[in-house]
Amino acid sequence: MNISRRDFLTRSSAAGVISIGATAPSLLNHAALSAEARGNTKNNKDRILVLIELAGGNDGLNTVIPFADDHYHKSRPGIRMDSNAVLKLDDYHGFHPQMTGMKSLYDAGHLAVIQGVGYPNPDRSHFRSMDIWHSAHPADEEFRGDGWIGRALDQSHARHAGRVPAMAVGTERLPRALLGAKINVPLLRSLDAFQWDPGAGSKAEQKQRRELIDAFAARPATEGSTLDFLRKTTATASQTAKRLGDVTAAYQPAAEYPNNGLGRKLKTVAQLIAADLGTQIFFVSLGGFDTHSQQQGAHAALLGELSSALTAFHQDIQGKQLSDRVLMATFSEFGRRVEENGSLGSDHGSASQMFIVTPGGSDARAGLIGKHPSLTDLDANDDMKFHTDFRAVYATLLEKWLEIPSASALGGKFTPMDFI
């Protein structure tokens, strides 16, 4: 049976290494393939997209607050934010008081707020609505096995040959948005996934296995043979693991990250960007936004975590002179209802906002984009009406930032917006 060298490495998981008792994690195999195909070269011009999922349905009304609207205060007597406490953006809109970092980014021209984002006939089910955001196919009633990013990478797979084009960081399972037919996207739960596992046994036995790996990598073989390919790739994987280990061990952030879950995930993303695996899309998630009861304290903590982590990451990559290459975008499956419920919380709604942290400068537009949805002119379900289809935002990220055609990935043509 004839198989390609790439297939051989992928199927074998560095079989030569496994045969002597040590294993290379699948993510390290991806990195080895990337480095082997790219000749360990770097392309510092690649643009990078970092997606942050706000899972549970973020209450957009208490995030970007229409503090000058009397109906907001009348509808939420128990969970509203006081007009004197909000971080004012203009004479109508303000950020939640915990979003001081994001307010600084906004003032510096690095944060765009896309208002009134949603899709036709919104679904209030967490699972169905999140499936819609991940698949970008609201009209499909049946389960879709792929996602909008996966399809985009599939159609541009030749461009990503020999790379790790996308990666999920710190999630329990691979997000549906990243699933495709032609490109396998790895899931990284921690940076330990990049390290060789020397196997069981004493330190002396583990040292001996490492020496055998090095000896195998240095063993001569006929140029162009499968053995030569495996030898070179084993060496590349070992070198990649060492390089990643050196980069992460020596990494000195240019900002202090908060000691919270999202902060740790975004710090890992910054380290991976510095290691340069050719990855253009990173996906992280922050959960807990299903605030049906006693919302104020929990929501404040979540927005504080989001703001502090996102701001530290931006300051870090800016300090590393990488901010012109990196764009961040947040999304959530839906917003919440205008009126609070009887448990001092908010129930599932529809339209909300997306945040875009831009590089700034002439290529990006910051500030408020689109009008805040009306709190009185509601749809048939008494939810706020959306005016910006989320797929138009996706089209912008794909076409204007990553330079990937969007129509086939999104199931139709959506006109890109002007925040880039």
> How buried is 325 (Cβ within 10 angstroms: 0-12 exposed, 13-18 middle, 19+ buried)?
middle
Q: Kindly give, in sequence order, each residue whose CB lies less than 8 Å from that of residue 11, ignoring residues fewer than 6 positions away.
A: 3
Q: Kindly give, in sequence order, each residue whose CB lies less than 8 Å from that of residue 206, ignoring residues fewer than 6 positions away.
A: 198, 199
Instruction: Give the closest residue to 281 by CA, choosing from 165, 396, 153.
Output: 165
Q: What is the spatial distance between Cα 383 and Cα 376, in angstroms, rounded to a whole number? A: 9
Q: Kindly give, in sequence order, each residue whose CB lies less than 8 Å from that of residue 129, ignoring residues fewer than 6 positions away.
A: 57, 122, 123, 333, 334
Q: Are 114 and 419 in contact (CB under 8 A)?
A: yes
Q: What are the pLDDT digits (tens) for 143-163?
A: 668 999 999 999 987 776 667
Q: Are 177 and 130 in contact (CB under 8 A)?
A: no
Per-residue model confidence (pLDDT) at position 194: 58
Q: Residue 357 has which token pair?
A: 């942290």
Instruction: Give the closest residue to 333 by CA, choosing from 130, 171, 185, 160.
Output: 130
Instruction: Give the closest residue to 191 by CA, choosing from 245, 250, 117, 120.
Output: 245
Tens of pLDDT along the chain (420 residues) come to: 444 444 444 444 444 343 334 444 555 555 555 555 554 444 446 899 999 999 999 999 999 999 999 999 999 999 999 999 999 999 999 999 999 999 999 999 999 999 999 999 999 999 999 999 999 998 776 666 899 999 999 998 777 666 788 999 999 899 999 999 888 888 888 776 555 555 667 877 767 766 776 676 666 766 656 556 555 555 555 555 666 666 677 789 999 999 999 999 999 999 999 888 789 999 999 999 999 999 999 999 999 999 999 999 999 999 999 889 999 999 999 999 999 999 999 999 999 999 999 876 556 789 999 999 999 999 999 999 999 999 999 999 999 999 999 999 999 999 999 998
Q: Residue 14 has which token pair?
A: 């560095």
Q: What is the spatial distance between Cα 122 and Cα 390, in angstroms, rounded to a whole number? A: 12
Per-residue model confidence (pLDDT) at position 243: 61
Q: E-strand spans in 100-160?
A: 111-118
Instruction: For the chain, give every domain's residue range.
Output: 45-193+255-410
Per-residue model confidence (pLDDT) at position 67: 98
Instruction: Give the closest residue to 312 by CA, choosing from 377, 266, 274.
Output: 266
Per-residue model confidence (pLDDT) at position 10: 43
- Residues 45-193+255-410, CATH architecture: 3-Layer(aba) Sandwich (3.40)
Per-residue model confidence (pLDDT) at position 6: 46
Per-residue model confidence (pLDDT) at position 23: 45
Per-residue model confidence (pLDDT) at position 17: 40
Q: What is the spatial distance between Cα 229 and Cα 6, in angstroms, rounded to a whole number? A: 9
Q: What is the spatial distance between Cα 40 and Cα 50, in angstroms, rounded to a whole number? A: 23
Distances (CA, A) of 71 to 76, 314, 339, 340: 8, 35, 9, 12
| Pairing, β 187-188 against β 64-66 | unpaired
Q: Residue 381 has which token pair?
A: 């379900």
Q: Are 390 and 134 in contact (CB under 8 A)?
A: no
Q: What is the spatial distance between Cα 411 and Cα 408, in angstroms, rounded to a whole number? A: 5
Q: Residue 109 has which token pair?
A: 């021209």
Per-residue model confidence (pLDDT) at position 228: 60
> Which residue is listed with tokens 């240095």?
218
Distances (CA, A) of 244 to 32, 179, 191, 215, 403: 11, 25, 9, 21, 28
Per-residue model confidence (pLDDT) at position 18: 36
Q: Are 170 and 188 in contact (CB under 8 A)?
A: yes
